[in-house]
Structure 1
Amino acid sequence: MQKILIIFFLSLSFQCFSQSFEKSIDSIDFYINTKNFIKGLDLSEKRSKEYLSQKDYEKYCLIILKKSTIYFLLNEKEKSFQNLFQVLKITDEQNLLKIKIQTLEDIGHRYATILDYKKAIDYYHKSIALAKKNKITDQNSFVYQRIYAVYFESNSDSAFYYLEKVMKDTRKSGSDKKFADSYNNYFSYYNSRQQYDLAKKYLDSSLIFAKRSKNNYIISTALNNLGCHYMIVEKDYRKAINEFEKVIKLNSTDTLSSQIADIYLNLSYGYEMVGDYKNAHDYLNKWSTLNENIYQGNLKQAINDVETKYRIEKMESENREKERVFDEKQKNNHKIILIFVALFAFSTILFYFFYQNLRLKQKNKFIELDRQVKQNIINASIDGQEIERKNIANILHDSISALLSSAGLHLAAYMANNSNEDSAEIKKAKDILKEAHDNVRDLSHDLLPPLLAKFGLLHALQDLSEKNSNSVLQFEYMSYLKDGKRYPEEFEMRVYFIITELFNNIMKHSKASKAYTTIEETNNQLLITVEDDGKGFDTTKELSSDGFGLTQIKSRIKHLGGNITINSKINAGTLIYIKLQIPK
């Protein structure tokens, strides 16, 4: 006879129904439990439409969760997931935190049942994190039990951590049933690691609390595990048989479950090992008969499920057709009304618009002329500033800085030839010359960075990011251009000062901790992205302390034949996207 031993150790691992919201059994739950899925789905459709029309989104989401359960039980996993993610979207829009927490957990459970443990764990953790963030404390240990089950099944080292989490929450609840389950978890954990003595201690504790709970399923689980322990570890088949017989007696009215079939097989093996071949044969026959009945029942249920799926598809198709016809009628009626309203409105305002059109055209001409004049003034001002900046930088660097350096060298030569004369005034004069030279050099570099002139825009932006980074704000720069790429000098200078102005805005106003700049080229266009994680601002209002701000930046970009897109919200950072046409 084949040796087959069954151990029940994760009694809460993969239940299908939501635990947080189903405090009482309603008619949909009744239909689910009695496998009358057609009526359950039909009722859920009616209730969901009713709640949606009333804009009672909380009850609507709970109904869709039940609908998801029906599809899951029918093995329609795709539809089950679609319903869950539909609920997740609504809970985000309506800020239904408790239902969102439960939905995330249920999505994790769905992934666990299809053995996608990675996604299951991800959604379980999202559920826990959201509950902790919003201090929702009524989330029980059920989600931790599910996480433990997934880690246990995948043989992960994290299983023990969640084993402890389940026990911690169990102690808070004081429930005998939960204590029985938790100790049963420890038994399964240590038994799988062949620490049989320690596993037996936890099994004994599980049995004590199981009996206190007076729950037949929990007691049967503990007794069956005890029988398996006697059979596998202690090889005491008599004791094992005694425990299995207790389970049979405890479940005398249950003659069709797969758990009882497993007990029959265990008993058959136990009697065989003690030489009682008659009982071994009898229980093997019982196991075979029950398995056949279960198979026939499952086959019948599978056939019913196929028929149910067909009827559901037909019902959904009919509902969709009714909705389509209704929507089409509504649209047609709406169109007729709109046509009459439009004709009336058109005839009423036609003369007004005709009259106003002449005035508006004239007004727009003046506005456009004024705008063009202002734009030309701004562009001329920007061009003048950049040319003047370049000229001043060259004068400072090539003339004044050189003169100061030459004076310093002459003074140093004089001091070297007259080393015996220790004049404090000469030393002070030398220090003043050095300080003046350094200030002139720094001013020259601020007006026109030497890196920009010598090595180009890419190196200058890298240097700008590094100089502006500190312990409070970090600028990160990424270029997707070829090293050493150069553009026309005036173009590089203007782009550099545009980005410099954006950096100044970030440092002055954003209160950000990270800023990112990327630069790339495509289709003869230079694409620049500047992003920060700061406090953001209302893009409908210009934030400017000097009267220009973003207006000046936009003018610079328009002058270069480019465009700028600003995406920012309060407390959500700022993203600026610039596209510039590269001059030939």
Structure 2
Amino acid sequence: MKKKFLFSFFFFLLLGIFTHAQDQTNKSAYINKKLHNIDSLIKENQFEQAESLIQSTQNTFTFRANDEEQLAFDFRAAMILYEKGDEERALNSLLIGFEKLKSIPFSPLNIEYANYLAKIFFNSQNFDKAISYNKIALKKAKLLKDTVNITKSLIRLGSFFYAKKEEDSALIYFRRVTYFPVTPKTEVRISNALNNMGVIALSKDNFDLAKAYANQALEIKVKLKDTLGVALLKVNLGNLYHFENNYSAAIKNYKDAIRTIGKDESVDGLNFKKVAYENLSVSYDSLGDYQNAYFYLVKYDKVNKELTDEYLAENFAEVEAKYNLAKEEQKTEEEKSKTFRAQVLFVGLALVTLTFLILAFIFYKNYKLKEQNKLEQIHSNLQTRIINATIDAKEKERKTIAEILHDSVSALLSSANLHLQASKAQLNSKAPAEISKAQEIVKEASVKIRDLSHKLISSVLLKFGLAFAVHDICEKYSNSELELISDDNGIKRYDQKFEIKIYNIIEELINNILKHSKAKNASITLMERNGDKLLIQIIDDGKGFDVKRERKKDGLGLSHIEARVKIMKGVFNINSKKGEGTSIFISVPVYKSVKAELV
């Protein structure tokens, strides 16, 4: 039954983990889709819709301030602020977000934040800052081995240095892009780099080199089937030929550009046509062919009007769309407001009820815990008192037996020995051998009684006090394998009952050293502090032990010793680690000193 329960438990646990992982995957996919939609809206300048989508997604999920998802939404919100003209707030938001990203060094967001910061500083003519952030973006792209962003960063760095009129530095970064192999990931950037290198060559009047770069770029654009890219390069080639006064070649390239665009009526397509028509008009004019110059100027004017009309139409459509969206949003907000008020009321009542239940539960648990602690304290105190009462009784009994053996039995045996000696003297040589044997037996009994008396309680302790008794026990137990030393720091004599208690504690701890420690050296230090406290420190260099484990097992009698110290209102502390020896510290208040008993 137990196995079945465990199997079920682990099954549901694994199922829960799998479900959680699946939920996380679904959540990530949903968020990525929303971010993609927001990016599309920003690209189309539909900032209000993008802001609304950001807000609704953040209302759906709860993110921490430093979460990567939250920082992704913050990045889009900053982009919108900047595009709407609030540069200061946008910059502040991006800098805060970029600082938070330091805790996520491998996030691709580092590149996006650094690139956009570079863009803002570039647009404000702060080229050095722009270059600094673009270099950070390049470093992060290399860290992530992101070829696309590496080439993008190199292109931007080249453009920023070109804007600073540092053409040689710009050329270095553009050329580094061309070192990459031509792949679907790099061909667009390589083509752009070649085109930019051509522009730099043109600025230096190196028309042949400029045309070579333009033709290399053109090959890539043709391979990519990038119609507008091909048209742009054809226009650039036409410009190069025009600057060389080769107007016929220039006209051929401009016409090629127009043929490439064909029937593309998009805004970009029309703009390219407009530039090509204008350049054709200029080239024909330079040839003195004014008829064709006028013909293409008319075409230029026509396309220009189309672009203006299209722009106005787009503006009208955008205003109408914004108006309709505002109306829909107002209705939605009103519905949300009603729903929100109902939710707040429900959640408020639920929270009050939950808070009350939690407080009641906490109060009940605290009450039960206090009662349990009281019972445990009473039980602990009772155990301590029982242990000490037992030990006190044993100590008293041992002292009484020792006194009886010493004062009574020893005296009787001494008296018997004297009588036997007197009888032996009276009988002189006629004394039977049994009297001598009896004397030997009485002497042996006296020795054993004395030894037993000393085992029960140290005679040195009773006669000379704790300091001498500790010295004595150290000498007694020291041998070739263990050296025991003591230092009493000149302590005085104390109440005899107090000395017996302390001596028994020290003796038990020394027995532990002898039995378990495998120590070579041990020291016992006694010290009196302020006249009312006795400090005891026992240190050995033995094998040590796990204090917590031994307290639970109590194989060394530590709980008994601690109970005895506790009942004396003292402090007991033990420090030990395997292989590092043991240090024991005891501090007890001193009993009032009385005159020592003579034995």
Please state which band the TM-score falls in when normalised by the shorter chain: 0.3 to 0.5
- Tell me which structure has the larger Cα radius of gyration: 2
TM-score, with length taken from structure 1: 0.47
Which structure is higher in RCO with an 8 Å CA cutoff and minimum separation 6? 1
TM-score, structure 2 normalization? 0.46
